[in-house]
Amino acid sequence: MGEIIKGKPVADKIAEELAVEIEVLKGKGISPKLAIVRVGARPDDLAYEKGALTRCKKVGVEAEVHEFSQEITQAEFIAGVKKLNEDKNVHGILVFRPLPSHLDEKELKHVIAAEKDIDCLSPVNEGKLMEGDKTGLAPCTPTAVMEILKHYNVELQGKNVTVIGASMVVGKPAAILLLNENATVTICHIFTKDTAAMACQADVVVVGCGVPRLVKESWIAEGAVVVDVGINVDADGNMCGDVDFDKVVDKVAMITPVPGGVGAVTTSILAKNVVKACKLQNNL
Amino acid sequence: MGEIIKGKPVADKIAEELAVEIEVLKGKGISPKLAIVRVGARPDDLAYEKGALTRCKKVGVEAEVHEFSQEITQAEFIAGVKKLNEDKNVHGILVFRPLPSHLDEKELKHVIAAEKDIDCLSPVNEGKLMEGDKTGLAPCTPTAVMEILKHYNVELQGKNVTVIGASMVVGKPAAILLLNENATVTICHIFTKDTAAMACQADVVVVGCGVPRLVKESWIAEGAVVVDVGINVDADGNMCGDVDFDKVVDKVAMITPVPGGVGAVTTSILAKNVVKACKLQNNL
């Protein structure tokens, strides 16, 4: 059976390092602060928010929630974000997505201050991501994938990596981050002819497509490393990933579980990005 | 023997369409204008400049060259670019790269006005590229690759495409553009274990790595389409691409020649981007 590589040790390690950094910042009179913008009260936003607040509190990042009404207009919404852009005490802004359909995410992307944009909504941060410019803020979930691979000493340079899913939230940025580490990256998606074949040739498979247990044992090469970004609830009400874990686990060298894998690291990256943003804004 | 797909018909078609658009703009009293920024006088910059000026003149885009001394300081250089940012008569700015080593390209990337940045230096345009946001300005060479594939009716959706080379100028943006057309994209580079194997499984191979005749007949699947972005001079002083054309041509369905392939389209894309930038700046 492959090694089940959990998120918790990775998150704990990051939290430990952050706590030290935050102490130093506080010694200089700077207190990193996150502003969460939530429109309405979707259960999954609330669940993530709870985790984020707990994590921030634990490491010493201040956090406040700005709940906007489900009926907010685009103009009011944008004004609310601009106010946070200008608030010198706020270093990071996280806006829960998807937004209600009457709000335009595209305007938000160009309004949010790049230096406070801790989940990489702004094209400025997306561009820096593409360039491998470390002064940018990379999106939390794909960065969590990278931190897990690093923590468990998974070599990437020259390795074949197949990414399944090409969303702007997971697949595309993950592919770029992996490419920036000199992996040979293949990106598969709904139009791919033979995703199984592409996955089979990979040393590392990163899956984030939102299809419960899509990735079967036959898709994975013996001894591969599998990172499962999916969080789904199956027909029986059980939480599961995008990988058929129970069968795949016997074949791999390492695999992340769901829950307790990538999801357990994401809020630590969020806190880490707030601290990074805070340091950038203070020229530290 | 495969079909040799030349750049000229593609360039001519684009030029024809542009001429019509420019007539309309001139009717409104708007004359699209390109500013070329050249530091020093490197022979390859001069060669490209000559082609760009000819193409612009042909389609009716005004063009002016700003030659800066090889000894210009970073501050003077940045000031020069800022002046062009502010010049309402200039719609597109092209800065020849690489810059002399004492100049910092990174500062330039953040200084050049995104709406005039016709070769996608700015992270704003890179980010829009990544998102598939068509209001951005995509880099000329990879866009030329896409225009050639489109002109010759090469289907991309669901096809396996291997990109050889992962530079910010060719490989990375080409991979993103291909992915945005729903191709399954694999990106190979110097650290790739077996580029031949990755190329062999591709329906379309795009090569831009700067190694003369690197891609051999054995790397290419029977009936594939090959686009060669390379422009090299071999030991005998002959111009050649990154593909071993004479041997590969017999195996493929289509292949671009060097010279006369991608290179012949790039300046048309440049002119097209100036017109696009001009329209964006005039809210047209």
Nearest neighbour of B124 by CB, restricted to A123, A136, A192 = A123
pLDDT at res. B185: 98
What is the distance in angstroms between the Cα of B198 and the nearest Cα belonging to chain A? Answer: 9
Confidence bin at A164 (pLDDT 50/70/90): very high
Distance from C-alpha of A190 to C-alpha of B39, rounded to nearest angstrom: 46
| A198: closest CA of chain B, how far (Å) | 9
Q: Could you give the CA distance from residue A35 to residue A49 in angstroms, rounded to a whole number?
A: 11
Q: Residue A92's beta-bridge partner residues?
A: A34
- In this prediction, residues B146-156 reach a mean pLDDT of 98
Mean pLDDT within A112-128: 96
Closest CB from A168, A176, A187 relative to B131 = A168
Place of tokens 């492959």: A2
pLDDT digits (tens, 9 = 90+) for B168-227: 999 999 999 999 999 999 999 999 999 999 999 999 999 999 999 999 999 999 999 999
Interatomic CA distance for residues A74 and A146, integer angstroms? 35
A·B CB contacts under 8 A: 99
pLDDT tier at A281 (50, 70, 90 boundaries)? Answer: very high
Residues of chain B with pLDDT > 70, as a percent, come to 100
Strand partners, A232: A240
Burial class of A151 by CB neighbour count within 10 A (0 to 12, 13 to 18, 19+)? middle
Per-residue pLDDT reduced to its tens digit, A236-267: 999 999 999 999 999 999 999 999 999 999 99
**What is the mean predicted confidence (pLDDT) over A155-159?**
98
Number of residues that this document lists for chain A: 284
- Measured between beta carbons, the chain A residues lying within 8 angstroms of B131 are 123, 126, 168
What is the least distance, in Å, from the CA of A78 to any CA of chain B?
19
Which residue ranges form the domains of chain A, and what is each CATH number? 29-114 (3.40.50.10860), 140-263 (3.40.50.720)
A26-64 confidence digits (pLDDT tens): 999 999 999 999 999 999 999 999 999 999 999 999 999
Choose among B126, B187, B188: nearest Cβ to A130: B126
What's the pLDDT at A46?
95
Q: Say if CB B177 and CB B146 are below 8 A apart.
A: yes
pLDDT at residue number A25: 97
pLDDT one-digit tens code per residue, B264-278:
999 999 999 999 999
Instruction: Give the separation between CA A267 and CA B281, rounded to whole angstroms.
Output: 40
The residue with tokens 């995509």 is: B138
Mutate: best of A121, A126, A170, partner B, most B CBs <10 A: A126
Does residue B166 belong to the interface with chain A, where contact is any CB pair within 8 Å? yes
> B128: nearest CA in chain A?
A123
Asked if A180 reaches chain B (Cβ–Cβ under 8 Å), the answer is: no
